Amino acid sequence: MGVDQESRHVALEIALGMVRIVRQLQDETGEVLIGHSQIAALHVLDRTGTRTPTELGVVLGLSQPAVSALIKRLLCDGLIIARSDRTDRRKSNLILTEEGLRRLDSLRAAMTTTMLGMVNLMPAAERAGAEQALRTLPTIICPRELLS
């Protein structure tokens, strides 16, 4: 089942809106929040449990240097940990920490509240399209076939 172009376009607009929401939340709370790529990485680790750095880069569509910088930031912030693979010590597995899950849940709740408020302000005719786009959004940010 393909995603129609209009839903895809609206979903991309919502993704851009999410970036603005994160910035707005940072301004309002004074708390240093994390960026879109970091949120997406935490989301992937939350949904899949663990990933290698290479797998995470593929899922997020990031180059090796970009995923290395992303992982370094998440490790420094205590949002993930890296554990040596039991079968191959040269590999590491990335795991979401309790702090990473807490931060992700907090961001999800704030974004959900903000988005629902925005959707509820729309005329009924536009609301259905926005709801469809919101359902499409996870496939744009993190395609399901890459998570399996």
For the chain, domains (ranges, CATH) are 5-142 (1.10.10.10)
Which tokens is 24 given? 């707005």
Mean pLDDT of the chain: 78
pLDDT band at 143 (very low <50, low <70, confident <90, very high): very low
pLDDT at 49 exceeding the cut of 50? yes
Order of strands across the sheet that contains 92-96: 50-51, 92-96, 80-84
Q: What is the mean pLDDT of residues 15-44?
A: 73
CA angle 144, 142, 40 (to 5 degrees): 140
Per residue in 72-119, pLDDT tens?
999 999 999 999 988 888 899 999 999 999 888 887 777 777 777 777
- pTM for the structure as a whole: 0.66
Q: What is the mean pLDDT of residues 135-147?
A: 51
Name the burial class of residue 20, with classes exposed (0-12), middle (13-18) and buried (19+) by CB atoms within 10 angstroms of its CB: exposed
Q: Beta strand pairing status for 50-51 and 80-84? A: unpaired
- Measured distance CA(38)–CA(41) in Å, rounded: 5
